[in-house]
Amino acid sequence: MTPLEQLIDLTRTLGQPQNEYVIIGEGNTSYRLDGDSFLIKASGRGMRDIDASGFVAVRFAPILDLFDRVGDDRAALQQAMIDAKADPSAPGRPSVEVTFHAMLLHGCDVNVIAHTHPVAVNGILCSSRAREFADHRLFPDEAVLCGPRSVFVPYADPGLPLAAAIRDEVKVYMDEYGEAPKVILLANHGLIALGQTPTEALNITAMCVKAAKIFTGTCAVGEPVFMSEADIMHIYRRPDEIYRRKMFVG
Ligand SMILES: [Zn+2]
């Protein structure tokens, strides 16, 4: 399958109503084509029945340049995003979140980004326990798939302010762990999964949603009992788990 076909598949799967990951035009996905450009969902398109017309190819360089223009007015930034299309005559405009997609694909050396607003995850991210969920792990498969912890980003205005906030928090994580995160949690907003392949991005999303449901369950029953830092790193770095993680990548 071509990158576009794989991205259509991933986006439709994420958009299945029974998953409760997104409704209407929520969420967006992207796929690196090469060092210069990537595909991203077009603004306003629904995920569940998306086709090739729902994606646009965008160049990295002009989008990454926007990080130096945080103070510019909205109209100028929007025009710059449209001008960044690889083919200016192609229909559609990139999602308003194109800035964080470009930054993560470029800076984290991953190929696929899946951003959703799952009901189960947002039930926590819209609560006072959001950071607690991001900072801890409850069970081994969560640590294996979602990494030793998630990056937590306090609420920021969608678009460039949010992208800049994500960049700052991801940098702290990468300095600490020496590798890119698997999961970024946006307060009062949603989930970002970073994968080498569409399958990995899908698996990370599914595991994060499962962990969210379990976390909520533990809060209802009593208090969550988290894995220790030592147990998390032991399972995360274990050679057989690294092998198993590779098998999840697909
Ligand atoms: Zn969003």
pLDDT tens-place string over residues 191-211: 999 999 999 999 999 999 999
Q: What are phi and psi of 182, to 5 degrees?
A: -95, -30
Query: Which ranges of the chain have pLDDT less than 70?
Result: 248, 250
State pLDDT tens for residues 6-56. Answer: 999 999 999 999 999 999 999 999 999 999 999 999 998 999 999 999 999
CA of 249 to the centre of ligand 1 (A): 24
Determine the distance separating the centroid of ligand 1 and the alpha carbon of 235, expressed in angstroms. Answer: 31
Whole-model pTM: value is 0.95
Separation of CA 27 and ligand 1 centre (Å): 5
Edge-to-edge order in the sheet of strand 37-41: 55-59, 37-41, 28-32, 112-116, 190-195, 183-186, 151-153
Can you tell me the distance from the alpha carbon of 250 to that of 245, in angstroms, rounded to the nearest whole number? 10
End-to-end CA, the chain? 13
Q: Which CATH superfamily is domain 3-249 in?
A: Class II aldolase/adducin N-terminal domain (3.40.225.10)
Give distance in angstroms: CA of 109 to centre of ligand 1. Answer: 21
Going from N- to C-terminal start, the domains of the chain cover 3-249
Q: Please provide the size of the chain in residues.
A: 250
Three-state secondary structure call for residue 118: coil
Largest CA-CA distance found in the chain, in angstroms, rounded: 57
